[in-house]
């Protein structure tokens, strides 16, 4: 989605710097808060061209840190059982080279395929997830929740959780 076509509330979201995920490398430590996360093919701004999977940690059942730890454990396994969470299963298949992406993603022929992780901390992750899925249409997401915010609306500041940058 082009920046001029983004809803007003999208500019209020502060995404972390995209960090490369490597099979044997160090993973970023996410905050122990609710929020949204995205796996992408590059470090460019989040778009339909690079978003592979978008998910939420709504804080009620799990935090970003817990949710992403679960993804890390799954991605680092050589195989996953078929009953694995669908998004994790698709990311794993991509990670091990069993999924070929459309040419527009610019990852064809790269081994291992690039995978980047970013997140934003918000108290209303559940409400925003549906709208972000509509905006970015990630290729590994199939379930589409109900949209939350309308394009012309702004998010009340008390729902935008801010985290301090610095030592982890």
Quote the DSSP letter at residue 144.
-
Q: Alpha-carbon distance 117 to 155, whole Å? A: 24
Catalogue all structural domains in the chain, each as residue range(s) with its CATH number: 13-159 (3.40.1440.10)
pLDDT confidence of residue 85: 83
pLDDT confidence of residue 58: 86
Instruction: Give 166's pLDDT tier (boundaries 50, 70, 90).
Output: low
Instruction: Give 78's pLDDT tier (boundaries 50, 70, 90).
Output: confident
Determine phi and psi for 89, rounding to 5 degrees. -60, -45
Parallel, antiparallel, or unpaired: how do β-strands 116-121 and 35-40 relate?
antiparallel
pTM score, whole prediction: 0.80
pLDDT (tens digit, 9 = 90+) per residue, 118-152? 999 998 888 899 889 989 999 898 765 555 556 66
pLDDT of 94 above 70 = yes
Cβ neighbours around 22 below 10 Å, total: 11
Instruction: Give 84's pLDDT tier (boundaries 50, 70, 90).
Output: confident
- Say which residue the tokens 């500019």 belong to: 11
pLDDT of 5 above 90 = no
Handedness of CA 42, 167, 74, 123 (dihedral sign): negative
pLDDT confidence of residue 63: 93
Coil, strand or helix at 40? strand
pLDDT (tens digit, 9 = 90+) per residue, 26-76? 888 999 999 999 999 999 999 998 999 999 998 777 899 999 998 998 888
Tell which residue, 153, 92, 116, has the closest CA to residue 16: 116
Q: In what order do the strands lie in the sheet with 51-57?
A: 19-20, 116-121, 35-40, 51-57
């Amino acid at each position: 989605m082009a920046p001029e076509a983004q809803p007003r509330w999208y500019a209020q979201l502060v995404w972390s710097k995209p960090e490369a995920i490597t099979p044997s490398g160090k993973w970023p430590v996410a905050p122990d808060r609710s929020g949204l996360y995205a796996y992408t093919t590059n470090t460019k701004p989040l778009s339909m061209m690079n978003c592979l999977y978008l998910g939420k940690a709504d804080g009620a059942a799990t935090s970003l840190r817990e949710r992403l730890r679960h993804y890390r454990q799954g991605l680092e396994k050589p195989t996953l059982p078929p009953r694995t969470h669908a998004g994790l299963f698709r990311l794993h298949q991509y990670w091990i080279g069993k999924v070929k992406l459309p040419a527009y993603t610019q990852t064809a022929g790269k081994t291992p395929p690039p995978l980047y992780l970013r997140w934003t901390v918000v108290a209303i992750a559940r409400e925003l997830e549906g709208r972000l899925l509509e905006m970015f249409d990630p290729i590994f997401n199939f379930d589409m929740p109900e949209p939350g915010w309308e394009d012309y609306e702004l998010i009340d500041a008390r729902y935008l959780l801010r985290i301090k940058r610095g030592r982890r």
